[in-house]
Amino acid sequence: MRSIKLTSALAAVAMSVAVAPSGALAIKHHRHAHALSARHCRVGFNAAPRFVEAGETALTFGVLLCPAGTNVSGQAVTIFQHTAGTGGASAAGTTSTDTTGRFQLPTAPLFTNSTFYATAAGAKSPKRAVKVSPKVTFTGPPDGSTLFTRGGPFTHVPHNALSNRVIFAGTVSPADVGAQVFLQRENAVGPEEWHRIGRGLVGPGGIYSIPHTFVFPGEANIRVIVRATKRHARGASEPLSYQILQAQNPVLTIESSADPIFYGQSATIHGTIATGPGATLTLLARGRRQHGFLPIATTTSTTGGAYTFAAQTPLANTIYRVTGGGKASAVLFEGVKYLVTASASTSTVQAGQPFTISGTVSPAVAGHPVYLQQQNAGGIGYHPVQIGVVSAGGTYSITHVPFNAGMRKYRIKVPGDPANQGAATAAIAILVTPATTSLLKPEAPGNSSLPSEGHV
């Protein structure tokens, strides 16, 4: 009986095939194969750059890869975003594939670390993270200013009359009330070796304020840094360079005609001696690696006790002192800024394609960091987007790939170090045009990078 029923079922199937309209069975099998192929699609996906500053956008892009014979054109793609500190992911936007299965979609402005992924044709891509650095402003005395230790520019005055208590202030955006900000000074041992000299807290509105009194004369490269959290990457302000001097001795003063100067420039050391004209004076100098002062020039005071030495051309930060008539001046720190040149390989580049900024740094210090900086969205200030280094010959070359279209302004900043003070080039305008999806590639390692955190 069971054999008879099975035989009847097979016969019924055969009959249905026999009476089916021509081509209908083939269409049925094709549709089944297409659905099966779609379930075996996968999504290649990228988000770049990997680091952005708060308020900037990133670009998400990828390709839908399916078995041969599967239509990948015009497929709906949904980009999902998970924002650090929140639960789950939500749709950030939708787009569709081109004829080759490729797609791209800019993100909205980002203010918190985010993870993205894409779905298309029933497939889900791997996740890609974009880290967001807070925007950190930093105000204090103007870059290159001369400051004094403790009691102010002159001795024999009330302690608080001309105190050199400096207030460094600024903002952190997005405002993370209660977050710690660290005031850092670069160590004397080498570039990008930062140590903490002060600390503050972010208050309402993202405002912070850190008072500081300098104790030791010499160069001082100063910045503020915000440590990384789950919600944000670390953020660093632009470094500022200062000359820290001892309080002047009013009996024998010392000044410079220009301070700081650029590498290769000259400055004249001058001042007055209270004993009047006819005093023999000696100019002494000490470099960073010298243990004591060495005499380098002499002169004689003139009317009113004024004196001037022949122009000096120090090639690195130098400390000067004048002696004569049994008196000694305070020390004078003469800052020497790096001399930096820069030129771009193009004035127009397509998003996802590279451009190069190259130039020279004098004096040449092999391995010294070089920052490629981009102007902030508001047009005030810059932030680093990629870190390069100086070659032994004093040249550098940074190849960078932008991922967001628009007019961008870049510059090169060489941060200061114990030997020389930092300097930056003029802005270079580069128009970034919209990307061609087929040419987009994953971001190369190091294309977006942050300065050293230092010791906080």
Question: Residue 37: inside a domain, yes or no?
Answer: no
pLDDT at residue 158 in the model: 43
Same domain membership, residue 235 and residue 152: yes
- Which amino acid, residue 192? E
Task: Answer for the pair 425, 342: CB distance below 8 angstroms, yes or no.
Answer: yes
Domain count, the chain: 4
Question: Residue 15: inside a domain, yes or no?
Answer: no
Same domain membership, residue 324 and residue 265: yes
pLDDT at residue 15 in the model: 33
pLDDT at residue 13 in the model: 34
Question: Residue 3: inside a domain, yes or no?
Answer: no
> What is the CA 338 to chain-centroid distance, rounded?
19
What residue has token string 């105190």?
A: 163
- Which token pair is 226? 């915000």
Same domain membership, residue 146 and residue 210: yes
CA–CA dist 54, 362 (Å, integer): 33
Same domain membership, residue 152 and residue 206: yes
Same domain membership, residue 98 and residue 200: no
CA–CA dist 376, 407 (Å, integer): 12
Q: Give mean pLDDT in consecutive 10-residue pieces for the chain, a chain of 456 residues.
A: 39 36 39 48 97 96 94 96 94 97 97 97 96 93 80 45 75 91 82 86 95 84 91 91 84 93 97 96 92 95 97 95 94 92 98 98 95 88 94 98 96 91 94 95 92 77
Question: Residue 17: inside a domain, yes or no?
Answer: no
pLDDT at residue 39 in the model: 65
Same domain membership, residue 120 and residue 53: yes
* DSSP conformation letters of 343-391: EES-SEEETTS-EEEEEEEES--TT-EEEEEEE-TTSS-EEEEEEEE--
Question: Residue 449: inside a domain, yes or no?
Answer: no
Question: Residue 389: inside a domain, yes or no?
Answer: yes
Same domain membership, residue 161 and residue 122: no
Domain endpoint, select from 185, 213, 245: 245
Domain endpoint, select from 329, 351, 378: 329
Same domain membership, residue 120 and residue 60: yes
Same domain membership, residue 342 and residue 324: no
CA–CA dist 289, 190 (Å, integer): 12
Question: Residue 109: inside a domain, yes or no?
Answer: yes
Domain range for 64 is: 42-132
Same domain membership, residue 279 and residue 199: no
Domain endpoint, select from 329, 353, 369: 329
- Which token pair is 146? 């001369």
pTM of the predicted model as reported, rounded to 2 decimal places: 0.80
Long-range contacts (CB closer than 8 Å, 24 or more residues apart) made by 78-83: 78/118, 78/119, 78/120, 79/105, 79/107, 79/116, 79/117, 79/118, 80/116, 80/117, 80/118, 80/119, 81/107, 81/114, 81/115, 81/116, 82/114, 82/115, 82/116, 82/127, 83/112, 83/113, 83/114
Assign residue 128 the CATH number of its domain: 2.60.40.730
Same domain membership, residue 149 and residue 122: no
Question: Residue 208: inside a domain, yes or no?
Answer: yes
Same domain membership, residue 142 and residue 77: no
Task: Answer for the pair 134, 226: CB distance below 8 angstroms, yes or no.
Answer: yes
